[in-house]
A and B are shown apart, each in its own frame.
Chain A
Amino acid sequence: MVSSSRPQIQPILSSKDANIYYGNFLAVRDVTIDIPKNSITAFIGPSGCGKSTVLRCFNRLNDLIKTFKMRGSMNYHGQDLYSPEIDPVAVRRQIGMVFQKPNPFPKSIYDNIAFGPRLVKYKGNMDELVERSLRGSALWDEVKDKLKESGLALSGGQQQRLCIARAIAMQPDVILMDEPCSALDPISTLKIEDLFQELKEKYTIVIVTHNMQQASRASDYTAFFNVEQTDRGRTGHIVEYDRTEVIFQNPQQQATQSYVSGRFG
């Protein structure tokens, strides 16, 4: 399951033997993965294989689902994310999230960005932070003259970059992205992929994607998830995790080879 060329860098996020349940249903089993700092890690795999579920475990967003349970360990800078002393709210301030569907708040562009910093009573210059965040998501030039206008008035691609800017404004360590381009046209998608390369200078990015080219173009590491039918339902697991070029050019597992070459099954 794990190949020899596995990343040796100090991991920022890591998980060991994590089993994720919804009620009694085992959704994902045996998740063991180390995510290196300042890199882009892609989760790929067929629908229902638990990529998004694992992603959402890293910022404890699954806590909102009542039946959710996690067994095993998930660490952030070596700290157990699921230990009782950890406040999920604090975790989410460190580990930001961009969702599949662009979801700006029904507020002005400015207030969308300022929302998070205001929550933590940001002391610095808010105008500056808003500009920096919008520049960081390559949106500044398009919106600098209409910061007071509604975030909902932007196009889909701009909305998604607004959501990225909103995540950046919290100055997080890690940004989790759950299929951030799946609702966007190819041009907006390319803009956001270009952005990834700049973002990884400062942040660690984990991205779930169905777009194989995106994973091979944009990511440094790739984890391939698969799903199998058991007597208790469909359970996902990580088949292979390695450097992206290994996964796409020389995968160790037959299932990975079939999936990345488009012959799935």
Chain B
Amino acid sequence: MVVSPNQNNEPMQRHRSSLSRNLDAAFVWLTGGFASLIAFLLIAIAIRVGVDASPAIAKFGLGFLFESRWDPVKDIYSAFPQIYGTIVSSFLALLLAVPVGIGVAIFLSEDFIPEKIQRPVIFLVELLAAIPSVVYGLWGIFVLIPVLRDMGKGVHQSLGWLPFFSTSPSGPGMYVAGIILAIMILPIITAISRDALVAVPIELRQAAYGLGATRWETIFKIILPAAFSGVIGGIMLALGRAMGETMAVTMVIGNANKASISLFDQGSTVSSLLANQFAEASGLQVSSLMYAAIVLFVLTLVVNILAQVVVQRVNRI
């Protein structure tokens, strides 16, 4: 124990009441308890889902991931179309949202517009994340689909030779899901990327300008690379959201049990499968849904680990 500043060498702890010391200890236990509760919940859910899925895992094995049969009458299940749909719709969303999101983030992190206008715009973008997903779904059905269907027909007529556009759009479909998801994840990518860009030290910007870099060279060669891990973090969070998003996707994707290369075709995702089936499911069907849930869980986990690897590899320099 350190000697107290007053000269009589009295140990410091005498000055604190036992109540105050106990409160300190209690606070550590309390926060520790909350933290372990979270870990416990996660593990409990994982175990429960795993146990419930085990009959389906035992029966279908890895074939569950590669076959396309969902037949409650014969009790045979596999989820390839849903896994395919989850990946395709999420990456389609990323493909659309990442360039736009980063572009918006750059625009809102530089001094292109006066701060008086910039602040409300930032707020509006973040507000996009506050719209409930069922509202997006509803808007998708009644506004987006009619518009996209006509545009899609045009694309199919002119570019139908490309496999991605090889079927004529009938309304709902993979492309609508991808676009709705892109809008939903846009604010996540923008907000997190903007924070990362703004956090890049002003000294780096000045160094680049001082060497005769233009504004664009400074942004693309110095600021974006310096903010890379933050931007990737935002993209990964967005991908996680896109993969797990249920309501809006279920409303616009068509819920067909098929994996089609054409984006205009209908499809389904793991989450839309779960949402559509859980109410009437029993027995092995429930178990198969749990199995699909595990697949989704692993999918997001893999994506997150990959992101970590990418970020670490880049940050090593």
Contact = CB atoms under 8 A, between A and B. Distances in A.
Interface of A: 59, 61, 64, 66, 89-93, 96-97, 99, 101, 103-108, 111, 115-116, 119-120, 150, 163, 166-167, 170
A107 B224 CA distance: 12
Interface residues of B, number: 19
Dominant secondary structure of chain B at its interface with chain A: helix
Contacts of B209: 61, 64, 92
Contact of B207 (A91, A103, A120): A103
Contacts of A59: 210
Contact of B225 (A96, A106, A119, A170): A106
Given A99-B206, A103-B204, A106-B225, A115 B211 contact: yes
Contacts of B212: 89-93, 116, 119-120, 170
A180 to B, nearest CB: 13
Interface stretch (B21-29, B153-161, B213-221, B301-309): B213-221
Interface-centre pick from B201, B204, B207, B221 (highest chain A CB count, 10 A) = B207
A105 B222 contact: yes
Given A96-B211, A103-B204, A116-B211, 16 more contacts: A61-B209, A64-B209, A89-B212, A89-B213, A90-B212, A91-B212, A92-B210, A99-B207, A104-B207, A108-B317, A111-B317, A116-B212, A119-B217, A150-B317, A166-B211, A170-B212
Nearest to A100: B203
B206 A119 contact: no
Contacts of B203: 99, 101, 103
Of all A-B residue pairs in the complex, the 5 with the closest CB atoms, nearest first, are A93-B212, A97-B210, A103-B203, A116-B211, A92-B212
Contacts of B214: 89
B111 interface: yes
B23 to A, nearest CB: 43
Nearest to A60: B209
Contact of B206 (A91, A103, A111): A103
B226 interface: yes
Contacts of B217: 119
B208 to A, nearest CB: 8
23 contacts: A61-B209, A61-B210, A64-B209, A89-B213, A89-B214, A92-B209, A92-B211, A96-B210, A97-B206, A97-B210, A99-B207, A103-B206, A105-B204, A105-B207, A105-B226, A106-B204, A106-B225, A106-B317, A107-B225, A115-B213, A166-B207, A166-B211, A170-B211
